[in-house]
Amino acid sequence: EIVLTQSPGTLSLSPGERATLSCRASQSVSSNYLAWYQQKPGQAPRLLIYGASSRANGIPDRISGSGSGTDFTLTISRLEPEDFAVYFCQQYGVSPWAFGQGTKVEI
């Protein structure tokens, strides 16, 4: 099983600042099948990034993903009020399609 470790657990920032979230895999992620999701309270997760660096439909270009192999990063270049949420990474290259434990981005 691939284990994903996200850091930091919580990121305290202000609107307009840059957010950098990390996701590290215990072994190489097949075909860079690494996704990022945003979740707000009481809502289902929303897909942001797939294939490590491709934005899903409707995702603004201030949100970007990068990385390969075992180290991946989600960057939000300038935080908007709606970006304060919890972010999860997930690998979907091999079963089980594990999630990281999440990073909370708070004001």
Peptide bond into 96 cis (omega under 30): yes
CB 46 within 8 A of CB 85: no
CB of residue 104 vs other proteins: minimum separation in angstroms?
A: 11
Q: Counting Cβ atoms within 10 Å, is residue 106 exposed (0-12), middle (13-18) or buried (19+)? A: exposed
By beta-carbon proximity to other proteins, the closer residue of 70 and 101 is 101
Using rule CB under 8 A, residue 84 touches other proteins: no
Using rule CB under 8 A, residue 64 touches other proteins: no
Of residues 2, 13, 24, 56, which one binds other proteins by CB under 8 A? Answer: 56
